[in-house]
Amino acid sequence: MARHIAHYTLVRLLPQSDSGEFANMGVVVACPALGFFDFRLITRYRRITQFFEEFNRELFTQVRREVEAELAHLRDHLHQRQFASGCREEALALRLVQDLVQPRETMVRYAPLRVAMTEDPRQLLDQVFARYVQRSSEETKSRREDAMVRLVREALQQDRRLNALFRADEVGTPDYQVPFPLVHRQDGQTLAAIKPLDLTQPDPQQIYEHGGRWAERLRRLKRLGAMPDHGVLVTTEAPPPEDERRHLAYRDIVGELRELSVQVSGVEQAGQILAFARGQIH
């Protein structure tokens, strides 16, 4: 099959333009030579609401609906022109996507156009979506766990002695090391570590995968005899109990962690966090 030039842009959500922070919420692809113009948007709101605290489900749904309506209108306009003329309307397909990326002072903006060669623009649409939008869920998750680290720090700041004990570091052997955001070392020995772990992903599969990765890392540290001398505390967030499937996945992961002699507490349970940290003071 012949390869054609395609143009694509990322749909970005910027609730606070002054901060410059954005989340990719979709992709638009145009392949003028084939008269192709289409888009794909995320459907799950939690990725956005975890990143932007001021965003709730209702607001996300409203914004997504407006973006979908705008892009669907452009796509349908191109199809109607093609049907009426019997041609692919290459110039119109290109102009539509070029107009999208013009500067705008709105909550939803479009990244500068990028170019790719493709035999199948619909396949390209799926590939770009997977790379830039689905992958961003990992970044969002990391940012959520960064926020959880700050909550633990706030708890530790209640006792000045404790806050100074914990620093980001790696735990393990020369051949296998695991990064932790909060590690207590003394005289070259790893005494304790705290890992905030987000287990609120939108579906059970993601909870099992993310939690399972950390359970396996801790299991390997234990097999290598490299666990901190005074233990590991994992602070978590749980899905709502009424969401039975997600909550079951959460409980399974917590059970795995406890089987490894890992302490588990809620990220906002300052008392348990302080008790664990105070155990490091002799």
User: How would DSSP label each residue in 3-54?
Assistant: -EEEEEEEEEE-S-TTT---EEEEEEEEEGGGTEEEEEE---SHHHHHH-TT
Residue type, 105: E
Q: What pLDDT does residue 18 have?
A: 57
Helices (H), 86-135: 90-100, 121-129
* pTM confidence score: 0.53
Same domain, 15 and 68: yes
Same domain, 221 and 155: yes
Q: What does the block give as tokens for 144?
A: 């959520």
- In angstroms, the CA 152 to CA 210 distance is 20
Q: What pLDDT does residue 131 have?
A: 80
Total length of the chain: 282
Same domain, 106 and 167: no
Q: What pLDDT does residue 177 have?
A: 84
Cα Rg of the chain, angstroms: 24
- In angstroms, the CA 31 to CA 8 distance is 9
Q: What pLDDT does residue 20 have?
A: 61
Nearest Cα to Cα of residue 45 among 57, 36, 55: 57
10-residue stretch averages of pLDDT, the chain, 282 residues long: 91 74 88 95 76 76 94 94 86 94 89 92 91 64 78 87 83 87 88 93 86 93 94 92 91 96 90 87 60
Same domain, 70 and 107: yes
Place of tokens 């404790």: 162
Same domain, 127 and 230: no
Q: What pLDDT does residue 163 have?
A: 77
- In angstroms, the CA 35 to CA 69 distance is 20
Phi/psi-derived region of residue 130, left when phi > 0, alpha when psi is between -120 and 50, beta in every other case: alpha
Cβ-proximal residues to 241 (8 Å cutoff; 6+ apart), any chain: 247
Query: Which residue among 115, 134, 153 closes a domain?
Result: 134
Same domain, 199 and 127: no
**Containing structural domain, residue 173:** 141-278
Q: What pLDDT does residue 132 have?
A: 81
- In angstroms, the CA 117 to CA 121 distance is 9
